[in-house]
Amino acid sequence: MQCPETILVLEDDLLISRLLTKFIAPETRRVLVASNVAEGLEILRSNHVDVIFADIHLPDGNGISVIREALRIHPGIVSVVVTGDPSLESAIEAMHLGVSDYVKKPFNREKIITSLRRAISRSEVKKLMANRETDPSVKPENDLFQQADARFIAVSDSMQEILSLINKVSHLDIPFLLQGEIGVGKKALARHIHQCNGTLQTPFTYINCATQNSGRQFYESVSSVLVQTAEQVSAGTTGKGTVFLEDIEQLSLSDQKQLLEFLGEHATGGHSCSVMYEYPFRLIAATTKDDLEAEVKQGRFHRGLFDYLSLMPVKVPPLRERREAIKPLGLHFLRQLGSVWDFKNKYSHDRINETEWQALINYDWPGNVHELAAVIFRIILLNDCLGVTNQLKQAQESSGADKAETISIPVTGDFKSMERHMIKEVVKLCGGNKTTAAKTLRMHRRTLYRILNQGKQDQDMHQASIS
pLDDT tens, residue by residue, 347-357: 555 678 888 88
Let me know if residue 409 belongs to a domain. no
Nearest residue to 404 via CA among 428, 380, 376 = 428
Residues 217, 38: Cα–Cα separation, whole Å: 59
- Number of Cβ within 10 Å of residue 82's Cβ equals 24
Residues pairing with 315 in the sheet: 179
CB 415 within 8 A of CB 422: no
Strands annotated E in 180-331: 204-208, 241-246, 281-287, 313-315
Same domain, 252 and 329: no
* Regions in the chain scoring below 50 on pLDDT: 1-2, 132-150, 199-200, 268-277, 345-346, 401-406, 409-413, 461-467
Measured in residues, the chain has a length of 467
DSSP letter at 278 equals: B
Let me know if residue 410 belongs to a domain. no
Q: CATH no. for residue 278?
A: 3.40.50.300
Residues 129, 192: Cα–Cα separation, whole Å: 17
The amino acid at 361: I
Same domain, 384 and 248: no
Same domain, 366 and 455: no
Tell me: the pLDDT tens digits for 180-205? 988 898 988 998 888 876 544 677 88
Same domain, 11 and 116: yes
Let me know if residue 237 belongs to a domain. yes
Number of domains the chain contains: 4
Domain boundary among the residues 91, 116, 134 is at 134
Contacts of residue 216, defined as CB under 8 A and 6 or more positions apart, other chains included, come to none
Same domain, 150 and 275: yes
Residues 404, 2: Cα–Cα separation, whole Å: 70
Domain boundary among the residues 317, 342, 367 is at 317
Query: 35 — phi, psi (to 5°)?
Result: -110, -5
Kind of pairing between the strands at 241-246 and 313-315: unpaired
Residues 319, 171: Cα–Cα separation, whole Å: 28
Residues 4, 359: Cα–Cα separation, whole Å: 55
Let me know if residue 76 belongs to a domain. yes
- Residue 189 vs residues 69, 148, 179, 408: alpha-carbon distances, Å: 31, 10, 11, 36
Let me know if residue 155 belongs to a domain. yes
Domain range enclosing 169:
144-317
Same domain, 294 and 149: yes
Let me know if residue 42 belongs to a domain. yes
Handedness of CA 43, 45, 51, 52 (dihedral sign): positive
Domain boundary among the residues 260, 291, 317 is at 317
Same domain, 381 and 453: no
CB 225 within 8 A of CB 219: no
Residues 227, 272: Cα–Cα separation, whole Å: 22
Phi-psi group of 229: left, alpha or beta (phi > 0 → left; psi -120 to 50 → alpha; rest → beta): alpha
Same domain, 60 and 122: yes
CB 245 within 8 A of CB 286: yes
Same domain, 183 and 311: yes
CB 27 within 8 A of CB 72: no
Let me know if residue 311 belongs to a domain. yes
- Residue 219 vs residues 224, 252, 295, 346, 366: alpha-carbon distances, Å: 8, 11, 22, 50, 34
Kind of pairing between the strands at 61-62 and 57-58: antiparallel
Let me know if residue 191 belongs to a domain. yes
CB 205 within 8 A of CB 225: yes
Q: CATH no. for residue 442?
A: 1.10.10
Same domain, 313 and 327: no
CB 438 within 8 A of CB 444: yes
Same domain, 337 and 395: yes
Q: CATH no. for residue 64?
A: 3.40.50.2300
Same domain, 392 and 424: no
